[in-house]
Amino acid sequence: MISIGIDVGSVAAKIAAFDGEKIIATAILPTGWSPREVGEQLLKDILEKNQIPRDKVKSIVGTGYGRVSLPFIDKKITEITCHGRGAFFINPEIRTVIDIGGQDSKVIKLDDTGMVVDFLMNDKCAAGTGRFLQVMANALQVDISELSELAEKAEPVNISSMCTVFAESEVVSLIAEGSSKEKIAAGLLQSVCNKTYSLVSKMDVEDKVFFSGGVSRSKVLKEMLEEKLGVDIISTEESQFLGAIGAAILGF
């Protein structure tokens, strides 16, 4: 039997299939305008591409903000619980999860059984999230995937505002003043690091720390956070799928 986890976030929707021992498949699509449609498409694709008969699906668990839009799921579970379970499955030594998603940031604390014992979330605005970096990348006229590479060996300029609107104006001004894209990219990642640190520092951080969410793909940001927090941070190819992975495991 197979269990399926679907994590519909504000920017991307992810899916994972679990056979009771391992994750056998994952996939991702932009959420777009309809969480329901993207969820249905992901389910259709993962079943067809992996030749999974529908009657072999034990359960389908939904998580993320768009989980309420999925009428075909068997259970809804919060992303906090799913991220915790997913991280613990990947590495049972994980005790802290830092998740930077499209519209919010979270820090989650786990016990030695993988249960969530505490968490904090910044969901009041898009500051320090994937959405913030997307807007800034547009202002720099680069793809968001290029920010980390641009920033890799650059000295960060100071980005004083974390408000997306004001920071965008600040980036435009820095470009006009002759600051390089590399220095601005480094400054933007540094500002996200500082914002994340202010959230994480409100909770006792225990090794080991797992970094999840789309923003976790930034090598430079990971290194900045490691230096700021004084701990080693784990990030894997599964990081962006963590919510879906946890949902699939909880559904088995």
Check residue 143 and report its DSSP letter: -
Q: Is residue 141 part of a domain?
A: no
Measured distance CA(41)–CA(133) in Å, rounded: 27
Measured distance CA(12)–CA(156) in Å, rounded: 28
Query: Residue 84: its pLDDT value, please?
Result: 95
Query: Residue 214: its pLDDT value, please?
Result: 85
**pLDDT of residue 140 exceeding 70:** yes
Q: Please give the residue range of the domain that contains residue 209.
A: 2-124+196-250
Measured distance CA(120)–CA(233) in Å, rounded: 18
pTM: predicted TM-score of the whole model, two decimal places? 0.91
Q: What is the mean pLDDT of residues 66-80?
A: 93
Q: Is residue 99 part of a domain?
A: yes
Q: How confident is the model at residue 250 (pLDDT cuts 50, 70, 90)?
A: very high
Q: Is residue 148 part of a domain?
A: no
Q: Is residue 178 part of a domain?
A: no
Q: Is residue 181 part of a domain?
A: no
Interval 90-101: pLDDT, tens: 999 999 999 998
| Burial classification of residue 11, based on how many CB atoms lie within 10 Å of its CB (0-12 exposed, 13-18 middle, 19 or more buried) | middle
Query: Residue 126: its pLDDT value, please?
Result: 67
**pLDDT of residue 145 exceeding 90:** no
Q: What is the mean pLDDT of residues 1-18?
A: 95
Lowest mean pLDDT among 60-64, 109-113, 119-123, 238-242: 119-123
Q: Is residue 176 part of a domain?
A: no
**pLDDT of residue 35 exceeding 80:** yes
Q: Is residue 67 part of a domain?
A: yes
Check residue 30 and report its DSSP letter: E
Interval 50-68: pLDDT, tens: 999 999 999 999 999 899 9
The DSSP result for 205-235, as a single string, is: --S-EEEESGGGG-HHHHHHHHHHHTS-EE-
Query: Residue 125: its pLDDT value, please?
Result: 67
Q: Is residue 242 part of a domain?
A: yes
Query: Among residues of the chain, what percentage have pLDDT more than 90?
Result: 69
- What is the SS3 assignment for 32? coil
Query: Residue 88: its pLDDT value, please?
Result: 96
Q: What is the mean pLDDT of residues 70-97?
A: 95
Measured distance CA(19)–CA(58) in Å, rounded: 10
Query: Residue 45: its pLDDT value, please?
Result: 96
Interval 153-210: pLDDT, tens: 899 999 888 777 888 889 998 999 999 999 999 999 999 999 899 899 898 887 789 9
Measured distance CA(188)–CA(194) in Å, rounded: 10
**pLDDT of residue 124 exceeding 70:** no
Domain of residue 102, CATH code: 3.30.420.40
Q: How confident is the model at residue 77 (pLDDT cuts 50, 70, 90)?
A: very high
Number of domains in the chain: 1
Query: Residue 10: its pLDDT value, please?
Result: 84
